[in-house]
């Protein structure tokens, strides 16, 4: 992230990136779908923090911490995608919450 110019669109709002695996994206094992945004933990966090915060949900089922998935491929490697994910947004995250341990060996 060297030589990047970062700014916040709304200086009064703090942003929190929730970066993780199927738990972060709210996978529902019973239906194969996803829980509603209000039931997923990033949504619960958003409600608890209030309007001064913008919680961004960046979850991917099967995402690992640092390993390429031998079946699904390198795009599941959380370490490889974290920096591009942060660079894709035009503002600085005050906090990044990661949860990928449930998928990693």
What are the boundaries of each domain within the chain? 14-99
For residue 72, pLDDT over 50 is answered with yes
Task: Enter the pTM of the model.
Answer: 0.75
As a whole number, the mean pLDDT across the chain is 80
Contact 55, 49 (CB under 8 A): yes
- For residue range 2-46, list pLDDT tens digits in order: 444 444 556 567 888 888 999 999 999 999 999 999 999 999 999
Residue 38's SS3 state is coil
Q: What are phi and psi of 81, to 5 degrees?
A: -100, -15
User: CATH classification of 14-99 is 3.40.50.1110, yes or no?
Assistant: yes
- Residue 16's DSSP bridge partners are 55, 95
């Amino acid at each position: 992230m060297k030589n990047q110019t970062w700014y916040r669109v709304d200086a009064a709002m703090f942003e929190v990136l929730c970066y993780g695996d199927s738990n972060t994206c709210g996978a529902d094992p019973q239906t194969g779908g996803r829980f509603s945004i209000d039931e997923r933990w990033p949504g619960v966090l958003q409600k608890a923090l209030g309007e001064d915060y913008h919680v961004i949900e960046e979850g991917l089922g099967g995402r690992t911490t640092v390993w390429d998935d031998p079946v699904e491929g390198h795009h599941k490697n959380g370490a490889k995608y974290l920096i591009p994910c942060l660079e894709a947004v035009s503002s600085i995250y005050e906090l990044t919450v990661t949860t990928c341990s449930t998928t990693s060996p």
